[in-house]
Chains A and B, each alone.
Chain A
Amino acid sequence: MKTYLKTGLSTVAMTSALVVGAQAAEMGATGEPIKLAINEWTGQHVTTHVAGEMLKAAGYEVEYVTAGMMNQFQAIADGDIHATLEIWSSNVSDQYGVLKDAGQLEELSDLGLNAREGIAYPAHVEDLCPGLPAWEALKDCAMNFATAETIPMGRLVDYPADWGTPGADRMTGLALPFKAVPAGSEGALIAELRASTEKKSPLLVTFWQPHWAMAAYDVKFIDLPVGEEACFTDPSWGPNPNAINDCDFSPSRIFKAGWPGLKENWPAAHEILVNYQLAVEDQQPMMGAVDVDGRSVEDVVEDWMGANEDKWKPVVDAAIK
C-alpha cells in the first residue's frame, strides 16, 4: 500500500507557495468558538483540522461540526457554521452560487490544492485494453467494457448525477462508443474500483485526485488532449471537428468559503483562513496515514503541524503580530 501511495504522489503536480502578505489584525471575539465544517471525506478532514489547529495556535476556540457537503451552505449563510475549507468547483451545488450572489456567503480564497479530474482506470485494465493510457485505444476495445445495461456500447461509470455528467460529455465529445452510467454516490464509485481490482475485470471511471483510492487501487488517468478554453466553446477545436468537450477536464478549483460575519467577528481568524494554503504533497500523505494506516486525523495532523511549522506558522504570525 505504502509504495503505491508514493507512486501516486509522484504523479501529482506539486505547488506549495504560501501566500503571506498581510498585516496583523484584531483578534475579535476569542471567547466564541469558530465552527468549521467537517464534510464526508478524509482529505477535507485533514484540511479542516490543519486550519483549526492554526486558529487554535492563534488563540481562538475552534469547534468542528459535521455537515453534509451539499447541505452545508445554508448553515454557513445562517451563521451556524463559520467556514468550510475544501469546496470542489466540480461538484458545488447551485445553492452556493445563489447564496454567494446574495451576499449571504463569502468566498475566502483558493486552497492551493492542485486537483485533477479525468477518465481513469485501475492499472490492470491496461492488459484488457492494449494501448492505454492513450485515449484512442478506447475506440477499439469498447466492447471489452460492455455490460448487460450498456451493450453494445462500453460502460463508463460517471460521477453521481448530482455532481454533473462530465464523463458523459467527454464520451459524446470524443465520439467514443461508451455509455455513461451515473454512480449514485462516492461509495459506489469506490466499490466499483475495489471490485474491479479484486476481479481483474475491466473498468472505466470518472475520477479525481487527490484521493486515497488513486494509490490504493493504482488508478491511472487516460491521456486526453489538454483541455483548453477553446475546446469547451469551439466545436472545430480538437480531434472531433463536430463537437465541444473533445478534450480533458479543465483543472478544478478547490476553495474556501465562510460566513459573511467572519471578518467582523474574528478579523485575525478571517485573515488566517484567507491566507491558509495546503498542497497535495502535504495532504495526500496525511490522508494515507488516516485511511490506509488507520490513525486518527487528530494525531496525524498534530505530527504534521510539529514537523512543518514553516508551512503554517508564518500565516498565523502575520495575522496576529
Chain B
Amino acid sequence: MSTPDTPSAQAGRGISLSRGTIAALFVIAIAVLCRVFENQVTWLVGWPAAWTVPMTDWVGTAVGEFLEFFKPLARRFSWLLSFPMSWAGSLLGGAPWPLVVGLVTALGWKLGGARMAALGFFGLGFVVISGYWSQGMNTLALVAVSVPLAAIMGLAIGVLAYEFPRVKGAVNAVLDVMQTVPTFAYLTPLLVLFGFGPVVGLIASAIYAAPPMARNVLLGLERVDDDIREAAIMSGGTRRQQLFLIELPAAMQQIMVGFNQCLMAALSMVIIAAVIGGFQDIGWEVLLTMRKALFGPAFLAGSVIVIFAVIIDRMSSALALPGQPYDRRVGYGILAATLAVTIWSLIAGWSPNGFAALDGVASWVDEVVGGFTAANGAALDNIKNNAMFYGLLPLRIGLSDAVLPFTWGFQWTEMHTQVFYAFAVAFAGFFAFRSSLTWGLIVLIAAFILETGISQLPWPFVLLGVGALGWVSGGWRLARLVTVLLGLILISGLWDRALLSLYLAGASVFFCAVFGGLLGLWSALSPRAWAVIRPVCDMLQTIPLFVFLIPVLMFFQIGEFSAFLAICMYAIVPMIRYTRHGLISTPDELVEAATASGAGRWQTMVELRAPYAAPTILLGLNQTILYAFAMLVIAALIGTTDLGQSIFLALGQADIGLGITAGAAMAILALVADRLVQGFAEERRQALGL
C-alpha cells in the first residue's frame, strides 16, 4: 500500500553551510518586517478578501462544461464497464462459498505451500463465519475489475514514459497529482461524468491504483541490463518486439512489485468510494456501523478488508518471486475435497449469510471500549486537555494567545513575549556557537512560529519561508515552483483553511517523526520488538481509515486532538518501517570495520548506522507526510475545520468547483512538502555517495 518514490526535484547542487544560513537570515528578516509592520499594514497578516479571485466558481464552471461535453462518451464507457462488473459480481457472488474457499486454498498451495494454503483457508473461513461473505465478494468483484483497468493504464503510462523520455517529467507530475488529490474531491465530478453506481468507485480506485504500477514499470524497464537490451537489438526485431518480447519480460520482477502495490491501493480505495453507494460492499457496511458509532461491528467489517488485503498481498508478492514447485498431488487433493464439499453444500443448501458467529465478539469489543471510556473518563480528559493546552493550541494560535488564566494559569503579556524572545536569542546564540549559525537561526524561526501560531502566520512569511526552504533543498527552480503553488492557494481564498491543514498535518508529522523514529530504532535493535510492532503496522495500514475514528472519538470526543491522533495512527507506520529498514541495511563490512575498531553498539548506531540510514529515513518522512495529508480528509469526519472539511462540504453539496479547488489545495500542500523532503533526501544520498 505504500506509495513508491516520487522523483526528486532538481536537486543535488549540494547545500553549503552558507546557503542554509542565507535562507534562514532571509526568513528572519521577513519575520521581523512582518512583526514590525503588522499593526500599520493589516494586509501583511491576513490576505484581504478583496484580493481573492473567485477560483472555485471558475473551476466549477470550467469543469462543469468539460463534464457536460464528455458525459455521453463517459456514459458509453461506464455502460461497457458494467458488463465485466456484473460478470465478476455474479461469478464471485454466485459461486458457492466452499468452492471459492477451496480454490483460494489450492492457489495458496501452488504459490507458497502449506503456509499460504493455510492463510487462504483460515482467512476466507473467517470471512465466512463473520457473516460478511456476500458483501466481501462484492468488494472483491469491484477490485477484480478495477485492478486490470489500473494495471493496463499503469503499464501504458510506464511504457510511454520509458519510450519517450521527454515526457517523463510531465508523466511523473501527473502521477503525483493522481496520488495526492484526495479521492473525495473528485467523486462528485466522476458521478456526474459516469453516472451513479459501482462504476464510479471502480474508476476512482483505478485512478488511485495506476500510479504505483506505472512507476514500477518505468523503474523495471530502466533497470533492464544493457547486455540484454543490446542482444535484443542485435537479433534484429522491431522496436515493438524488443519491448514486448525482451525488455518487459526482463523487467517482470519489478513489474510484479508494482502489480502488488496496485492491488493494495485499489483495495484501500474501493472502501472510500463506498460513500457513494450503489453496491452492497464491505465499505458500505463499515459506513453503516460507523454511523451508529459501533466500534466492534465496524472493526469486524474492517477486519474482512484486512484479511483480503493480507491474502492478496502475500499471494501476489509470491507471484513476484521465482516459484518453487510444491507437490501437485496435494493441490489436486485440495481441489477434489473442494469439489466434494461444494456439491454437498449445494445439496444441503448452506448459505454464507446465516453465519454471524463473531457478532458476540464484536459486541464484546464494543462494550470493552465503552467500559474503558466510562472507567477512565477523567484520565482521558486530562490527557486531552494537557495535549491541547501545552501542545496543539500554542502551535495553532501561538503562545501569546494560547496562554490564558484558564489554560496555563496566567495571562501572557508583552513582558512574557520579551522574556520568551530573550531566551530564544540566548538558545540561538548557544547553538550558533556550538554547532552552526544555521541551527541558531532555525531556533529563532521556530520561536517566531511558536509565538505567533501556525494559523496566524503572516502570508509573506509562509510563502517566502517555504520558497527559501525550496531554494536550500533544490535550488531556484524548486523555490519558484513551491512559491507559485502556494500563491495559488493564497489567491483562491482557501488560505486560512490551508494553514489549519498545515498546522494539523505539521503537528502530526512532527509527532510521527519523533515517536515513529524511536519505534523504528527500537525495532532495529530488538527483533522481538519488531515481531510485535510489525503486525500492528500491517493492520494500521490495511484497515479502512474510518474505523480508527470511532475509538478515538469515544475516548477523546470531537475535536482537533482526536483528529491529530487519528492522523498519527495512520501516518506513523512508514516512519517506523523506513527507519528500521534504513538502520538495519547498513552494509555488513562497514559495521564489522566499526566493531573491529572498537566501537560499541551505540557508537555504531549513532555514528555509522544513523548517517548511513538518513536518506531512507527521509524517504520514510516523505511518506509520512503524504499519509498525513491523505488522512486529513478522513479526519474531517470528526469535525476538523480545515481543507478536509471543505472537501466533504463540497461532496455533500455536489459543489464541483469547491471540491476540485480544495482538493487541489490539499494536493499542493502535499506536493510541496514532498518535493522539499525529496530534495533534502537526494542531497543526503549524494553526500553519502549512494
Question: Is chain B found bound to chain A in the same assembly?
Answer: yes
Q: Which residues of A contact B (CB under 8 A)?
A: 38-41, 65-68, 70-75, 78, 80-81, 93-95, 147-149, 151-152, 157, 160-163, 181-188, 190-192, 194-195, 198-201, 291, 294
Residues of chain B with a CB closer than 8 A to A291's CB: 292
Of B195, B288, B550, B648, which one neighbours A191 at CB under 8 angstroms?
B550
On whether the beta carbons of B553 and A195 are closer than 8 Å, the reply is: yes
Residues of chain A with a CB closer than 8 A to B578's CB: none
A71→B189 CA distance, assembly (Å): 11
Instruction: Sort A-B residue pairs by CB-CB distance and give the 6 closest, nearest first.
Output: A75-B196, A162-B652, A199-B377, A148-B388, A184-B639, A95-B654
On whether the beta carbons of A148 and B384 are closer than 8 Å, the reply is: yes
On whether the beta carbons of A93 and B639 are closer than 8 Å, the reply is: no
On whether the beta carbons of B377 and A198 are closer than 8 Å, the reply is: yes
Residues of chain B with a CB closer than 8 A to A201's CB: 377, 381
Residues of chain A with a CB closer than 8 A to B374's CB: 198-199
A294→B356 CA distance, assembly (Å): 12
Judge whether B429 is part of the interface by a CB distance below 8 angstroms. Answer: no
On whether the beta carbons of A184 and B407 are closer than 8 Å, the reply is: no
Interface with A: B29-37, B275-283, B612-620, which one?
A: B275-283
Judge whether B192 is part of the interface by a CB distance below 8 angstroms. Answer: yes
On whether the beta carbons of A198 and B188 are closer than 8 Å, the reply is: no
Residues of chain B with a CB closer than 8 A to A67's CB: 196, 276-278
B227 to chain A, nearest CB (A): 54
| Residue of B with least CB distance to A291 | B292
A311 to chain B, nearest CB (A): 27
Most buried by B among A72, A157, A188, A200: A188
| Residue of B with least CB distance to A71 | B276
On whether the beta carbons of B640 and A94 are closer than 8 Å, the reply is: no
On whether the beta carbons of B293 and A194 are closer than 8 Å, the reply is: yes
Q: Could you list 18 examples of A-B contacts with CB < 8 Å?
A: A40-B291, A66-B284, A73-B654, A74-B195, A148-B407, A148-B559, A152-B404, A182-B645, A183-B639, A184-B637, A185-B638, A190-B291, A191-B554, A192-B557, A194-B554, A195-B373, A198-B371, A199-B374
Judge whether B15 is part of the interface by a CB distance below 8 angstroms. Answer: no
B347 to chain A, nearest CB (A): 26
Judge whether B339 is part of the interface by a CB distance below 8 angstroms. Answer: no
A69 to chain B, nearest CB (A): 9
Residues of chain A with a CB closer than 8 A to B275's CB: 68, 71
A161 to chain B, nearest CB (A): 5
Judge whether B485 is part of the interface by a CB distance below 8 angstroms. Answer: no
A256 to chain B, nearest CB (A): 18
A200→B637 CA distance, assembly (Å): 24
| Residue of A with least CB distance to B200 | A71
| Residue of A with least CB distance to B562 | A188
Query: Considering only CB atoms and an 8 Å cut-off, how many residues of chain B contact the other chain?
Result: 59
Apart from A184-B638, A291-B292: 14 A-B pairs, beta carbons within 8 A: A39-B277, A40-B287, A67-B277, A70-B652, A75-B197, A93-B654, A94-B653, A95-B653, A185-B638, A192-B557, A194-B293, A194-B370, A200-B377, A201-B377
B556 to chain A, nearest CB (A): 9
Residues of chain A with a CB closer than 8 A to B388's CB: 148-149
On whether the beta carbons of B280 and A195 are closer than 8 Å, the reply is: no
Residues of chain A with a CB closer than 8 A to B594's CB: none
Chain A residues touching B, majority SS: mixed
On whether the beta carbons of B290 and A187 are closer than 8 Å, the reply is: yes
Q: How many A-B residue pairs have CB under 8 A?
A: 165
| Residue of A with least CB distance to B288 | A40
Known: A70-B654, A75-B196. A187 touches B407 (CB 8 A): no
Residues of chain A with a CB closer than 8 A to B389's CB: 148
On whether the beta carbons of B370 and A71 are closer than 8 Å, the reply is: no
On whether the beta carbons of B406 and A185 are closer than 8 Å, the reply is: no
A72→B385 CA distance, assembly (Å): 40
Residues of chain B with a CB closer than 8 A to A160's CB: 639, 648, 652
Residues of chain B with a CB closer than 8 A to A151's CB: 404, 406-407
On whether the beta carbons of A161 and B654 are closer than 8 Å, the reply is: no
On whether the beta carbons of A148 and B653 are closer than 8 Å, the reply is: no
A74→B652 CA distance, assembly (Å): 12
Known: A181-B559, A184-B638. A66 touches B654 (CB 8 A): no
| Residue of B with least CB distance to A148 | B388
Judge whether B191 is part of the interface by a CB distance below 8 angstroms. Answer: yes
On whether the beta carbons of A71 and B191 are closer than 8 Å, the reply is: yes
Residues of chain B with a CB closer than 8 A to A182's CB: 639, 641, 645
Judge whether B450 is part of the interface by a CB distance below 8 angstroms. Answer: no
**A-facing mask of B388-406, CB < 8 A → 1, else 0?**
1100010000000000101
Judge whether B649 is part of the interface by a CB distance below 8 angstroms. Answer: yes
Known: A66-B280, A71-B277. A181 touches B639 (CB 8 A): yes
Residues of chain A with a CB closer than 8 A to B213's CB: none
On whether the beta carbons of A78 and B196 are closer than 8 Å, the reply is: yes
On whether the beta carbons of A188 and B196 are closer than 8 Å, the reply is: no
A66→B558 CA distance, assembly (Å): 28
Of A66, A72, A184, A194, which one neighbours B636 at CB under 8 angstroms?
A184
A20 to chain B, nearest CB (A): 32
Residues of chain B with a CB closer than 8 A to A186's CB: 291
Residues of chain B with a CB closer than 8 A to A39's CB: 277
Judge whether B651 is part of the interface by a CB distance below 8 angstroms. Answer: yes
On whether the beta carbons of A195 and B557 are closer than 8 Å, the reply is: yes
| Residue of B with least CB distance to A187 | B290
On whether the beta carbons of B188 and A71 are closer than 8 Å, the reply is: yes
Residues of chain A with a CB closer than 8 A to B559's CB: 147-149, 181
